Chain A
Amino acid sequence: MELIKIDRLSFGYGKQQVIQELNATFIRGELSIILGRNGSGKSTLFQILSGVQNAYQGHVAINGIERKSIKRQRASDVRIGFMSQFHQTTFPFSVFDVVMTGRASFTRFAPRAEDRQRVEDVLTQFNLWSYKDRPYTQLSGGERQLVLLCRVLVQDPDIILLDEPTNHLDLHYQVKVLENLKRLAADGITIVCIMHDPNLALLYGERLFLMQHKQLRSLSGLPIGEIHHMLEEAYQVRLEAIQHGDKNLIVPHISASHDKEIITISPVDHAQIDEVVTFVREARRHLFPSLDHSIVPRDLATFVETFIKDENGAFLQARDQIGKLIGTIGMLTYDCRFDQFDLPQHRVTEVVKLFVDPTWRRQGLASRLVQSLHNVAASRKIDTLYLHTHPFLPGAQLFWHKQGFEEIITCVHGDFETIHMAYNLQDS
């Protein structure tokens, strides 16, 4: 039976939309796990489910009742326990006192004997009863997380929302917590859990979701190949699926050093132009979503004239072992269109179209492309390589610094703040 039903949920902080038209269903007595990148909106979804955020559009029905109309304090219809990701406390309360605050909604004034009993039961269940007088602030991160979990459990919730319950725990406690969650789910509690480890999720989760593109996509029932592909796309790393008993596991693909030898960097020939132009336009669309992409940029439209026939022009491509296009870089004659600065040498080329396939990022491919272009430029007796980049591209400026480029000037063109950089080949 579905306990939580989310229908066309949208939410944003100011202008920034975090959740858009999200639909999902969580089943009573199941352990559901949500995967997704940091900042993909998982925690926001939890804030909405737990009632911290109420300014959402769409419908969130819990046990058939709209979330907004569930009042706290007299939550007799449905009890929602929530464990947030970060918690720090100022005062060194004892473990017992911290867990006891979980019973606060049961009593108006002093806690009663049954409240104490419940705290004792839950602490004993997690082997924490001997910790009851220890100051909470002196516990390790993992122990604290367990104490907070106990605090959520003492209120006998119908639904438990856990934001990364295992992120500070060692393997022992990770397994212990997940086994306990599974048992609680079997007892009829609905548990929704945000996690980062896809394997723990695959091993323990009864239902899997992936938060991506402001929506929640169900992974349950999909073939492992599909899940593999979706996770690869979501986390932007290369993964490998491994058979483990009757379960499947997904681990990062280790890029051993021989991978580099398999990558080939070569000039683009006539037959490859269409494929390269498509790759570049796609990459550009992702990097600069605000630009008009219906127009083909002039240098791409005149690819042969600009990059192949021109004595200053060059266009390099990188391909992996199966010949898949994974990176590009080009240079063309600088047309001196910016008048904010002067470049004295007479042979100046502009570096353009450095793009790397997302799954190949952070492996030094971009540096290798730039290095290859340097070699081409040096062999053509080019004096200066010029390029411009933008501060909103994370790490771009630092990257070009490492390649030996230095800033000339930073100015604003249109909507973009632009950093102009140059590299003098004659000095080196």
Chain B
Amino acid sequence: MQVWKISLLVIVPIVVLFLSLGLGSTGFVNIPDLLYYSYAACASALGIETVVADHNLETILWQVRLPRILLTFMVGAALAVAGGVLQAVFRNPIVDPFSLGISSGAAFGAALSMLISLIPLNLSAFVFGVIAVVITYLVSYTGAKGSLVTMVLAGMIISGVFTAFLTVLQYLSDPYKLQSIVQWTMGNLHTASWAKVRTAVIPITLGIAIILALRWKLDLLALGEQEAIAVGVDPKIIKLVMIGAATMITASSVAAVGMISLFGLIVPHISRMLVGPSNASGVLANILIGGTFLLLIDDFSRTLLPFEIPVGVFTMMLGTPLFIYLMRKNAINWNA
């Protein structure tokens, strides 16, 4: 990978993260002010007295915008990494957390725990995400050579089943809870808070860390099970760990902000176009591009119109034409 690409991949996210702080419905903050507020925050953390012109703006910056930005970045990175990992493990460029049923399963799990608050939302989302992907895998497993198409079809069906269950839950729930479930399934970043960041940060960083540590094995998995055995590696354990980690970060993301469709499918393809097909660099690119891209989409969704467009709707609206373009241009290289 060229040096300019690497530096671009690192610098752009930092700039976008910083500038996103200035955007929002309560007004734009220009760069000098932003720098000053950041300095003031750092200074007060160190115990130095500083004078801030607007205390409301200060609260908005640190209590509303920063957690939202961090959560968005994390979720974007998580979905993109999960998508890339699943595409490699299942040797299939058209799977993503959504198409394998993880998202629908996790959404159902989360809605269930919203209705009956017996189990924590995160855990419930995770458990049902795992259940969904396991069923998908079992349904499509046909011996040594699992077909790429059967897996996507199985995922669609399992996704459909869990969406149906979710509808049943929505039908049974009272209007107040119904609204929160519906809003949440559309992908809602506006409910971000420090509490949500704290709940999501551990499973997501842990999952991404595991994937980062094992990312050199992804190319091997992508060549197929027999090819791994052929060079003396038992792929089963790595495969399980990878799918587990991908499920964990997807489920945590879904639990935190709801369903954001297509995102985990598209970003790995963009990464592959930028840094090549190798998963060792692909995982890193997915983190940076995924986080930045979702952040940009969120910036648009909260500034473009006077009201906020749910981010799930926005990724679908942006993602579809982009994906069609990539497909027509044959930039997506698949021999499925």
Contacts and interface: CB of A to CB of B under 8 A. Distances in A.
B219 interface: yes
A90 B278 contact: no
A1 B232 CA distance: 24
Contacts, number: 101
A101 interface: yes
A124 to B, nearest CB: 20
Given A51-B229, A80-B232, A90 B276 contact: no
B232 A75 contact: yes
Interface string A75-114: 1000111111001111111100110111111010111000
Contact of A90 (B92, B220, B232): B92
Interface in B41-70: none
A90 B222 contact: yes
A93 B216 contact: no
B222 A102 contact: no
A155 B148 CA distance: 29
B232 A155 contact: yes
B93 A91 contact: yes
A87 B224 contact: yes
A50 B224 CA distance: 15
B229 A82 contact: yes
Contacts of B91: 89-91
A218 interface: no
Interface stretch (B173-181, B182-190, B328-336): B328-336
A93 to B, nearest CB: 5
Nearest to B281: A97
Given A89-B224, A91-B93, A79 B232 contact: yes
A130 B126 CA distance: 46
Interface residues of B, number: 32
A72 interface: yes
A91 B333 contact: yes
Interface in B183-228: 213-214, 216-217, 219-220, 222-224, 226-228
Contact of B278 (A75, A93, A110): A93
Nearest to A52: B229
A97 B232 contact: no
Contacts of A137: 333, 335
Given A91-B88, A94-B278, A137-B335, A50 B230 contact: yes
Contact of A110 (B93, B216, B226, B231): B216
B304 to A, nearest CB: 35
A334 B88 CA distance: 65
Contacts of B219: 93, 97-98, 100-101
Given A94-B277, A111-B216, A89 B223 contact: yes
Interface string A396-425: 000000000000000000000000000000
Given A100-B219, A101-B219, A104-B217, A90 B229 contact: no
A42 interface: no
A135 interface: yes
A73 interface: yes
Nearest to A90: B91
B86 to A, nearest CB: 13
B231 A93 contact: no
Nearest to A83: B230
Given A91-B222, A135-B277, A104 B233 contact: yes
A48 to B, nearest CB: 12
A20 to B, nearest CB: 22
A107 B232 contact: no
A104 B334 CA distance: 24
A105 B234 CA distance: 9
Nearest to B282: A91
A151 interface: yes
A152 interface: yes
A73 B228 CA distance: 10
A90 B231 contact: no
B278 A155 contact: no
Report which residue of A51, A81, A97, A137 has the largest number of chain B beta carbons within 10 angstroms of its beta carbon.
A97
10 contacts: A50-B229, A72-B234, A81-B232, A82-B230, A84-B230, A87-B223, A91-B88, A94-B278, A101-B219, A107-B216
Given A52-B229, A97-B278, A101-B227, 18 more contacts: A52-B226, A72-B232, A73-B233, A81-B232, A82-B229, A84-B226, A87-B227, A89-B224, A89-B335, A93-B223, A93-B278, A94-B276, A101-B223, A104-B228, A105-B233, A111-B216, A135-B333, A137-B333
